[in-house]
A and B are shown apart, each in its own frame.
Chain A
Amino acid sequence: MTALAPYIEYARKAFAREATYRIELLAEIGSLALRVYLLRALWTALYTHNIAPMGLPLHSMITYATVAMLMSLVLEVDGTRVIREKLREGGIAVDLMKPIVVPFAYFSDGVGQTLVHALAILPSLLISLMLVHIDVPSAATLVVFFFSFALGYGVNFFVNFLLNGVAFWTLETFGLQLIVRWISDLLSGQILPLAFFPGWFGRAVFALPFAAIYSTPLLVFIGIIPPRQWVTALAVQAAWLVVTAAASYLLWRAAARRVVVQGG
């Protein structure tokens, strides 16, 4: 417990820090409601021209798009942004002069930031329910969805960690971030279900880690992944979590070595 105390405090302070931006949080909820409304209009228009994928009915599609939006409240928080900022200002050195395991501190900081945005989910959900109809799955499906969402959160965290970690070598990662974020949004199934992609490409995207972030939990939610495939789907996510975490660990070790040998 005492060993965890510093990290809990890191998360609490990150929460307090992020919570100082109240107006931004309100704007986030407002903009989300607007996007949910626009997506409904978009999909309704597209469906009148008969482009339903996988024979997915319109109400499932709107549920998919709306839940993806709600998930993005949490998944779009880049909890490891702090690494990039600290590298630029030389703050990593200050953190290394503390008796802490630095990557744990950054993870806790990210969790604290995320929790603030998670608070926006409930009001956003209530507003969304006034604008669109969402299919509510069974209790068991919801439980599996939340597990899958948590795994997706982990994969997303480490993908971000890897991206920001590149800053140890290049300092400036904004361009790279932008490209990868865009690719990730597209290939994770946030914008549209991955089944939309044709042929080999459509199969390949399921083999990338990005699919573990949005697609798997969403397909569980709308029932495309049936109960008998739940274990496999979550196992694949867990495997990606292990792979991205291991890669992050190796990257951190190389980065820390670079800092202690080259002076950052």
Chain B
Amino acid sequence: MAKSLGVPLIVTRELRKVFRSAKRSPGPLGALRGLFAPVYEDRVAVAGVSMEIERGELVGYIGPNGAGKSTTIKMLTGILVPSGGEIAVAGIVPHRKRRENARNIGVVFGQRTQLSWDLPLVDSFELLRAIYGIPADRYRRSLDDFVELLEMGDFLRTPVSQLSLGQRMRGDFAAAMLHEPPILYLDEPTIGLDVVAKEAIRTFVERVNREQGTTVILTTHDLADVERLCRRIVLIDRGRIIFDGPIERIKNEYGRERTLVVRFTEPTSAPAIPGARLEASDGITARFVFDRASQRADRLVREVSERYSVEDIAIEEPELEGIIRHIYTQGYAGEERSA
């Protein structure tokens, strides 16, 4: 069989979006001046994003608030027209063919719902069945699958307004996947959920990605979602991609620091170990930060046990969260855009 021409499912090249708003001049004549000689203010939301996403990938698209994440997603869904650059989703330019593009995508927003508030959950599914023209037998089968997978049997006929947030989110996921779109955009899908509900959602995403080959773009501030689900992350800041690659790489590049947590048997003031920096201490427990490239953990452990009376020692690996926080505050120092 001939190998398919490796055209990525989603391609953007130098994608830009600039929002223009009229600036109001101060003073009593300001409004008048605004009417005849308006002064515009440009805000660059996306400043040239180029990325390629292959069929079946599960990508974490992350960045601080206002970095341009949702603006990018809105352009990918076709509801926002780019100011420049190129964009193609499954071969379609989304904003030119919004409705055609809509058939290829499913969208879940953690902060808003697409379900009809006053009606039983199943009514929203019936409306979607009509919107996408899903054949009756396929609808039946998909719905049965989702009801089982997301355990929705107990509340399928309950009005959405009476559902818990966790139940509602499960409903929203089923609603987004009912027409079996090849692409799924998730925007903060686990926000406000408890650990059990989060896990149910993550398992579901993992499963549709693995079994149906759905390509998933996950936008979130919950890096545990990303760590659990994504192999690749695209990090965006001030409208530009500052990292694009596997999670392991960002961890290796940034996660050089480890933490040695020491619990003493008796109160110890100002403990110190050569080669490590004291980060915090409350007299009984002390946290030392060290560079794992230049310092060996076993030496530090030996050193601390020789000097002090120690009850317990633990070594903490860097969390993705800490690394990302570091990048947000310090900026990314690695090579720009290595892919």
Residue A16 at the chain B interface, CB threshold 8 Å: yes
A91 neighbours in B (Cβ, 8 Å): 112
Residue B81 at the chain A interface, CB threshold 8 Å: yes
The 8 A CB mask of B10-53 against A (1 = contact, 0 = none) is: 00000000011100000000000000000000000000000000
Which 3 A-B pairs have CB atoms at the shortest separation, nearest pair first?
A9-B130, A99-B102, A99-B99
From the candidates A10, A97, A260, name the one contacting B127 in the complex (CB within 8 A).
A10
Known: A96-B98, A97-B107, A261-B81. A17 touches B131 (CB 8 A): no
Query: Which residue, of A8, A16, A91, has the highest number of chain B Cβ atoms within 10 A?
Result: A16
Once the chains bind, are B95 and A9 in contact (CB under 8 Å)?
no
Residue B100 at the chain A interface, CB threshold 8 Å: yes
From the candidates B20, B99, B114, B118, name the one contacting A100 in the complex (CB within 8 A).
B99
Which residues of B (109-143) have their CB < 8 Å from a CB of A?
Answer: 109, 112, 114, 116, 118-119, 123, 126-127, 129-133
A262 neighbours in B (Cβ, 8 Å): 19-21
Residue A5 at the chain B interface, CB threshold 8 Å: yes
A261 neighbours in B (Cβ, 8 Å): 80-81
Residue B67 at the chain A interface, CB threshold 8 Å: no
Docked CA distance A5–B20 (Å): 39
A101 neighbours in B (Cβ, 8 Å): 99
Residue A2 at the chain B interface, CB threshold 8 Å: yes
The 8 A CB mask of A1-40 against B (1 = contact, 0 = none) is: 0100110111001001100100000000000000000000
State the main secondary structure of chain B at its contact with A. Answer: mixed
**Taking the nearest CB of chain B, how far is it from the CB of A96, in angstroms?**
4
B116 neighbours in A (Cβ, 8 Å): 13, 17
From the candidates A13, A93, A94, name the one contacting B119 in the complex (CB within 8 A).
A13
Which residues of A (97-112) have their CB < 8 Å from a CB of B?
Answer: 97-101
State the main secondary structure of chain A at its contact with B. Answer: helix
Give the nearest-CB partner of B94 in chain A.
A97
Residue B327 at the chain A interface, CB threshold 8 Å: no
How many of chain B's residues have a CB under 8 angstroms from any CB in A?
Answer: 33
Once the chains bind, are A9 and B79 in contact (CB under 8 Å)?
no
**Taking the nearest CB of chain B, how far is it from the CB of A5, in angstroms?**
5
From the candidates A6, A10, A20, name the one contacting B118 in the complex (CB within 8 A).
A20
Residue B105 at the chain A interface, CB threshold 8 Å: yes
Once the chains bind, are A5 and B133 in contact (CB under 8 Å)?
yes
Docked CA distance A81–B80 (Å): 24
Residue A129 at the chain B interface, CB threshold 8 Å: no
A90 neighbours in B (Cβ, 8 Å): 112
Once the chains bind, are B74 and A9 in contact (CB under 8 Å)?
no
Once the chains bind, are B119 and A89 in contact (CB under 8 Å)?
no
From the candidates B79, B100, B118, B159, name the one contacting A97 in the complex (CB within 8 A).
B79
Once the chains bind, are A5 and B81 in contact (CB under 8 Å)?
no
Give the nearest-CB partner of B114 in chain A.
A94
B112 neighbours in A (Cβ, 8 Å): 89-91, 94
From the candidates B21, B118, B126, name the one contacting A9 in the complex (CB within 8 A).
B126
Residue B220 at the chain A interface, CB threshold 8 Å: no
Known: A16-B119, A94-B107, A97-B79. A2 touches B133 (CB 8 A): yes
Residue B71 at the chain A interface, CB threshold 8 Å: yes
A13 neighbours in B (Cβ, 8 Å): 116, 119, 123, 126-127
Residue B103 at the chain A interface, CB threshold 8 Å: yes
- Residue contacts A-B, CB under 8 angstroms, 25 given: A2-B133, A5-B133, A6-B131, A8-B130, A9-B129, A9-B130, A9-B131, A13-B123, A16-B123, A17-B116, A17-B118, A91-B112, A94-B107, A94-B112, A94-B114, A97-B77, A97-B79, A97-B102, A97-B105, A98-B131, A99-B132, A100-B99, A260-B95, A263-B74, A263-B80
**Taking the nearest CB of chain B, how far is it from the CB of A168, in angstroms?**
14
Known: A8-B130, A13-B123. A260 touches B118 (CB 8 A): no
Docked CA distance A259–B118 (Å): 27
Once the chains bind, are A260 and B81 in contact (CB under 8 Å)?
yes
Docked CA distance A261–B21 (Å): 11
Docked CA distance A90–B109 (Å): 11
Additional A-B contact list (16), CB under 8 Å, known A93-B79, A260-B80: A2-B133, A5-B130, A6-B130, A6-B133, A9-B127, A9-B129, A9-B131, A13-B116, A13-B127, A17-B119, A97-B78, A99-B103, A101-B99, A260-B95, A263-B19, A263-B80
Give the nearest-CB partner of A92 in chain B.
B79
Docked CA distance A91–B117 (Å): 12
